[in-house]
Amino acid sequence: MPQYPAIARETIEEAGIKIDYIGGTSMGAIVGGLYASGYNASQIDSIFQTSDFDKLLKDFTPRSSKNFYEKNSDEKYALTLPFDKFKVGIPYAYSKGLNIYGLFNRLLHDNRHVRDFDELQTPFLCIATDIETGKQVVLNKGYLPQAIMASATFPSLFSPILINDKLLIDGGVANNYPIEEVKKMGANFIIGVDVQDSLKSRVSLNNATRILVQISNLQMIEKMPEKRKQTNIYIKPDISDYTVISFSEGDEIIKKGEEASRAVFEKLKVLGTNYRKPKFKTATSQTDSIHIGEIHINKLDNY
């Protein structure tokens, strides 16, 4: 679900709680990875508010950025399909995720050297699913933007991500609430944000996205009661009317998140008295372009 986990962390910050470990799946991996890298909740909320996710979801390259041959092809063809061994195929997904991946790279530029996620400002892990075996893959090492992208690679929306010879998709298929994994990191008090959808009736299963979400939820629904028992402070927003791509309804989702977080604020506040309010480093913004003064090309007389 877009944006909600950031609202929970904003309430946690207000209560003065220092987070020692972070684990997340899918959107939780995105928000958790940003938070672990030094962004505070307000900065994360600003990122979601100012990003045009409808455009980011598409593998769109501005015409001005294309070379002559690409521009020429665009004018000839309305649809592009993969072609392999003299056979026309079907794309892996709606998007390869190039623009989203580019966004993660820019946002996490300050931590580009980190290969062990325990070395982030807050130790972090995220969960992906091995599409060949259906088993979860814990990602706590490697290249952070790639790990987050794998955890959030919703089937049919984004193409699978290859990491360490494993083809990975959204971790929500295998484990959307990685409480056991966070405990193994050393956590002994769990604040959990559950954005797991309930199972829908046939009337509600009226598009491909809802059907895929239903499939991924079948396994996790049975596990959630036990996971909830292990959670010390449980936050569950009422977001049943929204889907994983409800980016245009972000303000409404944020409001739902605020309501759920405020419902447990007194519990958080009591816990917060035992910790100092966390300090965040200032995440440096990266320039989105550079200015080229001159270009000199030599020895290309015949080009």
Among 271, 186, 262, 258, residue whose Cα is nearest residue 232: 271
For the stretch 265-279, pLDDT in tens is 888 888 776 665 555
pLDDT exceeds cutoff 60 at 72 = yes
Q: How many whole angstroms separate alpha carbon 128 and alpha carbon 143?
A: 14
The pLDDT-based confidence of 29 (bands split at 50, 70, 90) is: very high
Among 53, 59, 57, residue whose Cα is nearest residue 2: 53
- For residue 79, what pLDDT is reported? 66
**Domain 4-51+100-272 falls in which CATH fold?**
Cytosolic phospholipase A2 catalytic domain (3.40.1090)
- For residue 288, what pLDDT is reported? 56
Q: Tell me the mean pLDDT in the region 34-50.
A: 87
Residue 53 tokens, joined: 């996710």
- Per the model's pLDDT, the better-predicted residue between 166 and 275 turns out to be 166
For the stretch 144-164, pLDDT in tens is 999 999 999 988 888 999 999
Name residue, tokens 């320039």.
Answer: 287
Helices marked H in the chain: 4-14, 27-36, 41-50, 53-56, 68-76, 98-107, 144-151, 179-185, 208-229, 250-263, 265-272
- Per the model's pLDDT, the better-predicted residue between 64 and 251 turns out to be 64
- How many Cβ atoms sit within 10 Å of the Cβ of residue 88? 8
Name residue, tokens 């877009």.
Answer: 2
Q: Rounded to a whole number, what is the distance in angstroms from the first to the last CA of the chain?
A: 51
The pLDDT-based confidence of 131 (bands split at 50, 70, 90) is: very high
- For residue 146, what pLDDT is reported? 97
pLDDT exceeds cutoff 60 at 2 = no
Average pLDDT for the chain: 81
What is the H or E stretch that residue 125 is in?
strand 124-130
Mapped onto helix, strand or coil, the DSSP state of residue 138 is strand
The pLDDT-based confidence of 3 (bands split at 50, 70, 90) is: very low
Compute CA distances 7 → 4, 21, 187, whole Å: 5, 18, 21
- How many Cβ atoms sit within 10 Å of the Cβ of residue 193? 26
Q: Tell me the mean pLDDT in the region 166-179.
A: 92
The pLDDT-based confidence of 243 (bands split at 50, 70, 90) is: low
For the stretch 79-130, pLDDT in tens is 677 777 777 777 777 788 888 999 999 999 999 999 999 999 999 999 999 9
- For residue 126, what pLDDT is reported? 97
Model's pTM, two decimal places?
A: 0.79
Half-sphere exposure of 292 (CA within 13 A, CB side): 3
pLDDT exceeds cutoff 90 at 135 = yes
- How many Cβ atoms sit within 10 Å of the Cβ of residue 149? 25
pLDDT exceeds cutoff 90 at 22 = yes
Contact 82, 22 (CB under 8 A): no
Half-sphere exposure of 124 (CA within 13 A, CB side): 30
Contact 74, 60 (CB under 8 A): no
- For residue 203, what pLDDT is reported? 82
